[in-house]
Structure 1
Amino acid sequence: MKLRILSACLLLLSTWSTTAVAEQTAYVSDQLTIFVHTGPTRNYRIVGTIEAGTPITVVEKSEDGSFSKVEYDDKTGWVETQYLSNEQSLKQKYVQTQQALDQASAELAEVSSKLNTQQSEKMLLESQLERQQQTNAKLEASLQNYQTQLAQLQQSDAETQEKVKMDWLIKGGILSLGSLIVGYILAMMPRRKKRSPDFF
C-alpha cells in the first residue's frame, strides 16, 4: 500500500516537473488553433485557445519539453511545444507584406503625382521658352532691319553733307570769279577827266 502511494507521489511530481527557460518569442504554427491548459499535460483543464500567428512569450518548459508555459494577451497557460514556431506564421507574413505593398503603392502614387506635376511644369516651361524664342527672333529681325535703315540714313546724310559742301564750294568759286570779272571790268573802264575850274 505504501509502495502504491509512493509511486503515485512520484508520478505526480514528474507531472509537475518543469524547467525554467530564458524568455523567447514564439508563434503558433499556421492553420492551427491550440488549446491552453492550466498545467504541462493534456490532462489539465483547458482555459483558452490561441490562434495561428499569435505572438507569445515562452517563459518555461516541462521537463521533457513537450509543453511550454506561455504568456499571451496578459494571460498565462501551457501549450504543446510541437505547435510553436520561432518564425512568424504565413498569415502574419502575408499581412506584413500587404502592409508593405500598400505603403510602397502609396509612395509610388506620390512619386507618380510629383512626376506628372513636374511634367506639366516642364511642358509649361517649354511652351514659355518657345514663345520667348519666337519673340527674340522677331526682335532680332527688327534690330537687323533698324540697323540696315540706320546705315542707309547715315550714308544718305554723308552724301547730303558732301553735296552741300560741293554746292558751297561751287557757289564760292562762282562768287569769287564774278568778283574778279567785275573788278577787271571796272579796272578796264576809262576814267573821266576832271574839268578845270577855269574852263568857264
Structure 2
Amino acid sequence: MRSHTLLFLLFTCISLPTFLAVAQEPNDKEGKVRYISDDLFTFLHAGPGRNYRILGSVIAGTKVKMLQEDTETQFIEVIDDKQRTGWVQTEFISKTRSVRELVPGLTQKLQEANAMIKQQSADNDLLNQRIADLSSQNAALNRKQEEIAAHNKRISAELANQDQSAQIEWFTRGGIVAVVSLLLGIILTYLPKKRRRNDNWM
C-alpha cells in the first residue's frame, strides 16, 4: 500500500507541470482566448459598464474570445460560446483554463494513474508468487541435498564396516592358515621316520 501511495505522489509531481501547461490555451496564437472565472456566473452587458442592458449570463468556466478591453471601466468585450457579443467585468476574466475544463482531464489522468497502480499491484503479486515458488523449490532442493548427504554418509559408514569386516576376515583366515601350518609342522616332526634298508647287511 505504501508503494502505491509513493507511485501516485510521484505521478502527481511529474504530471503537475503538464497540468499547469495545459491550463493555458495551446491554440491561442493571437492571445484573445479568455475564460470566465470560477464563480457561479457573470452578466453579459451590452456595453462597458453595469449601467448597460444585460444581454444574459455566462456560466463560470465558459471559454470566450476577447475583442477589446476598456481599461477605464474595467470591462472586456467578448464573444461567448453562444456567439453572443457583450461586455464582462475584467475581474471575471482569466487567461487560464477553468476548473470546469480541467476537471475532465484531471479525472482521466487520475484514472490512468489508478490503472497504472492496479497494474503495478498485479505485477507485484505475480512477482511475490514467483518468489514464493522459487523459495519453495529452493527448500525442496535443500531437503533433497540433505537426504543425499545422509545417504552418502550411510553408504560411507557401510563401506567402512565392510572394509573392517574384510580385514578381520583376512586376519582370521591368515591366523587359521598359520595355526594349521604350525600343527602340521608339529605333527610331521613326531611322525616315525621310515628306516632305510641296509644294503651292506646282505
TM interval, short-chain normalised = 0.5 to 0.7
Structure 2 matches for 1:43-54, cutoff 5 A?
Answer: 51-54=59-62
Q: 1:170 to 1:117 in 2, by over 3 A?
A: same
Structure 1: unaligned runs, 5 residues or longer = 1-21
Counterpart residue number, 2:155: 146
Deviations 1:121-171 (A, max 9, x none): 233223323333332333233222222212211111111121222223223
More strand per residue: 1
User: Are 2:122 and 1:113 aligned?
Assistant: yes
Moved more, 123-132 or 107-116: 123-132
Aligned residues of 2:49 and 2:73 also touching (Cα < 8 A)? no
Aligned residues of 1:69 and 1:77 also touching (Cα < 8 A)? yes
Look up the SS of the partner of 1:61 in the other structure.
Answer: strand
Among 23, 27, 31, the residue aligned to 1:23: 31
Structure 2: unaligned runs, 5 residues or longer = 1-29
Whole-Å separation in 2 of the counterparts to 1:36 and 1:119: 65
Aligned residues of 1:40 and 1:69 also touching (Cα < 8 A)? yes
Q: TM-score, normalised by structure 2?
A: 0.60
Q: 1:180 to 1:193 in 2, by over 3 A?
A: same
User: Are 2:92 and 1:83 aligned?
Assistant: yes
Q: 1:79 to 1:145 in 2, by over 3 A?
A: farther
Q: 1:79 to 1:130 in 2, by over 3 A?
A: farther
**Displacement after TM superposition at 1:195 (Å):** 5.5
Pairwise CA RMSD: 3.8
Among 185, 192, 197, the residue aligned to 1:192: 197
Counterpart residue number, 1:102: 111
Paired residues in the alignment total: 169
Taking every aligned residue pair, what percent have the same amino acid on both sides? 20
Whole-Å separation in 2 of the counterparts to 1:71 and 1:146: 98
Deviations 1:105-134 (A, max 9, x none): 111111111122122223322332333333
Whole-Å separation in 1 of the counterparts to 2:177 and 2:60: 120
Instruction: In structure 1, give the amino acid aligned to 2:111.
Output: D
